[in-house]
């Protein structure tokens, strides 16, 4: 597939700092507002944002299949409802306008001033109206580690795990954007298995290092999306920290799975990096043995290499990276997840969000949760300020970052940072 905007030789007349997450080859979409202005669609480049509402009003998007209301919007959904070909055309057009060899906007500084704004002045919003949120459980190392911690190493993976991309329906209304703090959750837990349960604040608050993808409008109820079609239904990806209260989770999860241990918050990064921009970073997935059922078979490289890290920043101190993992460690890819999700006729809608599940690599420093890093609280991690962590403490800020990189371009996701305030 030849996507014009991905050309690694492109250069922009908008200055892009070295090692920026947002070179001209990225052009992720988000929702931003400036002081006193309404939220609208923007595209990140370097340390700037392209205001698509103003870009449209000034006539630069005339040959694209969009209307003003698609960009004068507080979420990306109206724009995404136009579909994959439309958003690809749009990204190509923005790339063209920002290209150093194109003079249309570059030579019109009066209009450029209304269109290109400083990221530092902007407030970022939750980019998508998320109708439904699904969380998968697709990293083998994570599933194995959790199986070892809660059952035994010989039977760490459940019998279904290599046959089904296991998932559950989560709560979309508590998905929040980077920068919004959370309060430590309270709930019922049973710290001593010999004693009755107790109520109190969660002492085992944890992050989960995940990626999420956002869908275009799917098919009607009863239809399904094949692994071969799945790419056409995926708009893009963001970083995803799926907050988890391990003590609440441990007591409540049998038999129906996660509930109050998970639904109090999940945090996402504000920029949606398009699947198109990630195409150069496709890698082969792991050999799937036993062989999967035909509806889960796929062709080509459908995994993606994305470097991911999670850091903990104690209050008034610097951050310590506690995990560096990679999206390539997924056993099940997005195409298989989407095919599985819809194979029973379940519909998906524009703006649905599907998270990967915690992504752990084979090495200990690649584990994607404190549950695994502290091995269920049996060991602690030292912060740069000398303090110790087994789980997340009050007033810690948890910061996730991610980027894909080859020898020509670096496509970043920005970050998701969330401060944990004491329980209300």
Active site positions, annotated:
142
Closest to Ca ion by CB, 90 vs 355, is 355
H/E element, 84? helix 84-98
Residue 290, preceding peptide bond in cis (omega within 30° of 0): yes
- Residue 139 pairs with which residues in a beta bridge? 330
Structure tokens at 98: 């920002």
Pairing relationship of beta strands 40-45 and 133-136 according to DSSP bridges: unpaired
Residue 325 backbone zone (phi > 0: left; psi -120 to 50: alpha; other: beta): beta
For residue 330, give the DSSP letter. B
Cα R_g (the chain), whole angstroms? 22
The CB-nearest residue to Ca ion is 242
Q: Smallest distance from the beta carbon of 158 to Ca ion, in angstroms?
A: 16
Nearer to Ca ion, 242 or 352 (CB): 242
Chain mean position to CA 253: 24
Distance CA 183, CA 63 (A): 47
- Taking the complex as a whole, the smallest distance from the CB of residue 87 to Ca ion amounts, in Å, to 27
Query: Which range in 96-104, 132-140, 281-289, 388-396 contacts Ca ion by CB under 5 A?
Result: 132-140
Helix (H) or strand (E) holding 150: helix 140-150
Q: How far is the CB of 252 from Ca ion (least distance, A)?
A: 15
DSSP label of 291: P
Shorter beta-carbon distance to Ca ion: residue 94 or 265: 265
CB of 166 or CB of 225, closer to Ca ion: 166
Binding segment for Ca ion (CB under 5 A), chosen from 18-26, 63-71, 201-209, 212-220, is 201-209
Residues 6+ apart with CB under 8 A from 153: 147
- CB of 64 or CB of 244, closer to Ca ion: 244
**Residues 377/391, Cβ–Cβ less than 8 Å:** yes
Residues 310 and 403: beta-carbon distance below 8 Å: no
> CB of residue 134 vs Ca ion: minimum separation in angstroms?
10
Site string for Ca ion, 202-241 (x = CB under 5 A): ------x---------------------------------
Q: Which two tokens stand for residue 392?
A: 């997340």
Query: What 3-state class would DSSP assign to 340?
Result: helix
The distance from CA 120 to its chain's CA centroid, rounded to whole angstroms, is 22
Smallest separation (angstroms) from Ca ion to the CB of 188: 20
Site string for Ca ion, 45-84 (x = CB under 5 A): ----------------------------------------
Stretch of residues binding Ca ion (CB under 5 A), selected from 134-142, 341-349, 363-371, 377-385: 134-142
Q: Which residue lies nearer to Ca ion by CB, 50 or 176? A: 176
Tell me the CB-side half-sphere exposure of residue 51, using CA atoms within 13 A.
24
**Is 372 an interacting residue with respect to Ca ion (CB under 5 A)?**
no
Q: Binding residue for Ca ion (CB under 5 A) from 135, 247, 352, 366?
A: 135
User: In the complex, what is the shortest distance from the CB of residue 333 to Ca ion, in angstroms, rounded to a whole number?
Assistant: 17
- Give the span between the Cα atoms of 125 and 44, in whole angstroms: 14
Q: Which among 43-51, 130-138, 391-399, 400-408 is the span making contact with Ca ion, rule CB under 5 A?
A: 130-138
Nearest residue (CB) to Ca ion, 98 versus 237: 237
Smallest gap from residue 325 Cβ to Ca ion (A): 13
Nearer to Ca ion, 74 or 158 (CB): 158
Coil, helix or strand for 85? helix
Residue 212 C-beta: closest distance to Ca ion, Å: 10
Binding-site residue total for Ca ion (CB under 5 A)?
Answer: 3
Both tokens assigned to 383: 């912060």
User: Which residues, 236 to 275, sit near Ca ion by CB under 5 A?
Assistant: 242
Question: Could you tell me which of 237, 324, 252 has the C-alpha nearest to residue 282?
Answer: 237
SS3 label, residue 322: strand
Backbone angle region of 268, left / alpha / beta, with phi > 0 → left and psi within -120 to 50 → alpha: beta
Q: Residue 45: beta bridge partners?
A: 48
Binding range to Ca ion, per CB under 5 A, among 35-43, 101-109, 131-139, 232-240? 131-139
- Site residues (vs Ca ion, CB under 5 A): 135, 208, 242
């Amino acid at each position: 597939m030849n996507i014009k905007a991905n050309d690694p030789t492109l250069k922009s007349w908008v200055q892009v700092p070295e090692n920026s997450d947002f070179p001209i080859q990225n052009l992720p979409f988000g929702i931003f507002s400036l002081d006193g202005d309404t939220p609208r669609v923007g595209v990140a480049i370097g340390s700037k944002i392209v205001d698509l509402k103003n870009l449209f009003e000034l006539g630069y998007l005339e040959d694209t299949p969009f209307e003003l209301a698609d960009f004068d919007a507080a979420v990306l959904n109206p724009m995404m409802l136009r579909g994959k070909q439309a958003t690809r055309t749009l990204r190509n057009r923005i790339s063209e306008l920002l290209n150093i060899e194109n003079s249309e906007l570059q030579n019109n500084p009066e209009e450029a001033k209304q269109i290109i704004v400083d990221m530092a002045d902007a407030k970022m919003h939750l980019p998508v109206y998320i109708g439904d949120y699904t969380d998968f459980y697709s990293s083998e190392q994570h599933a194995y580690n959790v199986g070892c911690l809660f059952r035994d190493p010989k039977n760490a993976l459940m019998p279904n795990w290599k046959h089904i991309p296991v998932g559950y329906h989560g709560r979309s209304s508590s998905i929040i954007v980077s920068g919004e703090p959370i309060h430590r959750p309270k709930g019922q837990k049973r710290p001593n298995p010999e004693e009755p349960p107790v109520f109190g604040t969660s002492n085992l608050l944890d992050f989960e290092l995940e990626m999420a993808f956002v869908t275009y409008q799917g098919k009607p109820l009863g239809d399904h999306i094949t692994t071969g079609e799945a790419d056409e239904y995926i708009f893009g990806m963001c970083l995803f920290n799926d907050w988890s209260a391990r003590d609440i989770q441990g007591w409540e999860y049998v038999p129906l799975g996660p509930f109050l241990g998970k639904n109090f918050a999940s945090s996402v990064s504000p920029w949606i990096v398009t699947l198109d921009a990630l195409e150069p970073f496709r890698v082969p997935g792991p050999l799937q043995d036993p062989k999967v059922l035909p509806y889960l078979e796929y062709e080509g490289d459908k995994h993606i290499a994305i470097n991911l890290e999670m850091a903990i920043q104690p209050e008034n101190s610097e951050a310590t990276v506690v995990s560096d993992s990679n999206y390539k460690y997924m056993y099940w890819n997005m195409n298989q997840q989407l095919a599985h999700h819809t194979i029973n006729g379940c519909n998906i809608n524009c703006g649905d969000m599907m998270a990967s599940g915690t992504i752990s690599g084979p090495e200990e420093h690649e584990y994607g949760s404190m549950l695994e890093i502290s091995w269920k609280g049996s060991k602690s991690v030292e912060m740069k300020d000398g303090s110790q962590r087994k789980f997340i403490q009050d007033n810690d800020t948890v910061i996730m970052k991610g980027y894909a990189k080859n020898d020509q371009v670096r496509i970043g996701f920005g970050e998701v940072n969330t401060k944990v305030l004491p329980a209300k």
